[in-house]
Amino acid sequence: MQRMTIIPLTTKTSFNHSAFEMTMAIHPIEYRYGTPEMKALWEEDYRLRCLFQVEAALARAEEEVGLIPAGAAAGIAEAALKARPERAKEIEAEIGHDMMAVVLALAEETEYGEWIHLGATSNDILDTATGLQIKASLDVLDSKLRRLLAILLDNALKYKDLVCAGRTHGQIAVPTTYGLRYAIWASEVARHIERLEQLRPRAAVGKVSGAVGTQAAFGKKGIEIQARVMEILKLNSVDVSNQVIQRDRHAEMICWMGLVSTTLDKICLEIRSLQRSEIAEVEEGFGKKQVGSSTMPHKRNPIKAEQVCGLARVVRAMMEPAMANIPLWDERDLTNSSCERVLFPESFIMTDHLLALAARVLEGLRLRNDNIERNLMMMKGLNMAEAVMVELAKRGVGRQQAHEIMRQASMRAFEEKKELALVLCEEPTVARYLSPEEIEKLLDPHLYIGTAVEQVERLCQKLQMYRNR
């Protein structure tokens, strides 16, 4: 047998770097997942410009209270526009401190460099810049959520009276409608919008509190300076803090993204289930040249819905480190910092990607009415046993007795593979109260959807408020 030679991947392995002129990406966010608008908010260039912006706002507030000379704020603001993020990275490589590199890069652009960062600690600038990124990112997610909600509401109304088989425990139950399914999803998405509105003022915040939170370096002007900086930046101001903004705010935000992602997981899991070959009631959009399988040419797989379900697991996993970042030593330690360099951009980029992808799935979803009707009728009336039971109870048969009559009739019909209507017509007690025509009508699933249509219409009317904002 011929033996295969395995080349060990060690630092001693010879590698021809000249053969690779292009640097290949490592993380799938770089080449596979995420939208350009959200990625732009977490690129290092944008973050550094946010840091410059916060330093400029601090200088403006300090000049207004007389803490730095007149004219310094304008000079620093001009420097913030001129400063190059790449220069800050060059300085950081030399001195090993990201925040001081920002300060020095700004100082090179103005004669007022000595007044930059006066009284501030690094996290006054870092956390407040993060607040700017969070604010912009939540705006993007808000827009995506409202688009998704609009798709769900439109489909809820479109399919409000499309009757289909309901299922519990994976078994066919009494009928429901596709409109009600869409409405349930829409209601859940609307709650996420409500949650976002509630958490936004807690998450998109900044602070200027100094080394341990006392604002001692600003004297008695600290509270005024902090309020003014946040007013300039259009951020909410914390009430109190130590060296960092307290991380319960960010943990709530990450948990919210976990909830949003899990709702998308729920929707796409249902789509995947309903697309199974033996059910085949829905079908994810499939391109004319799209390939479903490398070996099975017939396959039309729900790959987008599967991607949503898979990546939702990643976003949910972010909840644990977000919680772990809340307890820090004393007035702060550094354990949250490295974690958040991964946690914040990945959570936002992945959640944004999932919202955009789920919207595409729902927009392109095809409902196959023939199979919906086939599955609705395949139980030969067994799924309508409840309707007959309730009618028997109304006509004088006790509820418990009616339940037992229908249970026995259903089991017989199932075992003998008969239409339930035929079995019921042979039951003396049933025949005493119901005619064959009445039994036939009671077993029509299209007539047993209760208030499903009214519920859909009422919900869609209620949630119009989110479309008008």
Query: Of 169, 277, 298, 338, which is the active-site residue?
Result: 169
Cβ neighbors of 388 (< 8 A, separation 6 or more) are 406, 424, 430, 434, 439, 442, 443
CB atoms within 10 A of CB 281: 23
> For 392-428, b where at least 16 C-beta lie within 10 A, e where not — what string?
beeeebeeeebbebbeebbeebeeeebbbbebbeebe
Query: Of 27, 97, 293, 435, which is the active-site residue?
Result: 293
Residues forming beta bridges with residue 237, ordered by sequence position: 206
Helix, strand or coil for residue 27?
Answer: coil
Angle (CA) 236 240 246, round 5°: 80
SS (H, E, C) 305-366: HHHHHHHHHHHHHCHHHHHHCCCCCCCCCCHHHHHHHHHHHHHHHHHHHHHHHHHHHHHHCE
Q: Is 277 among the catalytic positions?
A: no
Q: Is 17 among the catalytic positions?
A: no
CB atoms within 10 A of CB 334: 10
Residue whose C-alpha is closest to residue 364's, from 453, 290, 313, 445:
290
Contact between 282 and 365 under an 8 Å Cβ cutoff? The reply is yes
Residue whose C-alpha is closest to residue 161's, from 460, 424, 447:
447
Rounded Cα distance, 419 and 111, in Å: 91
Q: Indicate the pairing of strand 205-206 with strand 236-237.
A: parallel
Residue whose C-alpha is closest to residue 358's, from 134, 152, 139:
152
Burial of 221 (0-12, 13-18, 19+ CB in 10 A): middle
Q: Which residue has the tokens 């944008």?
A: 46
CB atoms within 10 A of CB 32: 10
Residue whose C-alpha is closest to residue 441's, from 387, 378, 370:
387
Burial of 207 (0-12, 13-18, 19+ CB in 10 A): buried
What the block records as the tokens of 161 is 């009276």
DSSP for 38-98, please give it: HHHHHSHHHHHHHHHHHHHHHHHHHHHTTSS-TTHHHHHHHHHHH--HHHHHHHHHHHS-H
Q: What residues are labeled active site?
A: 169, 293
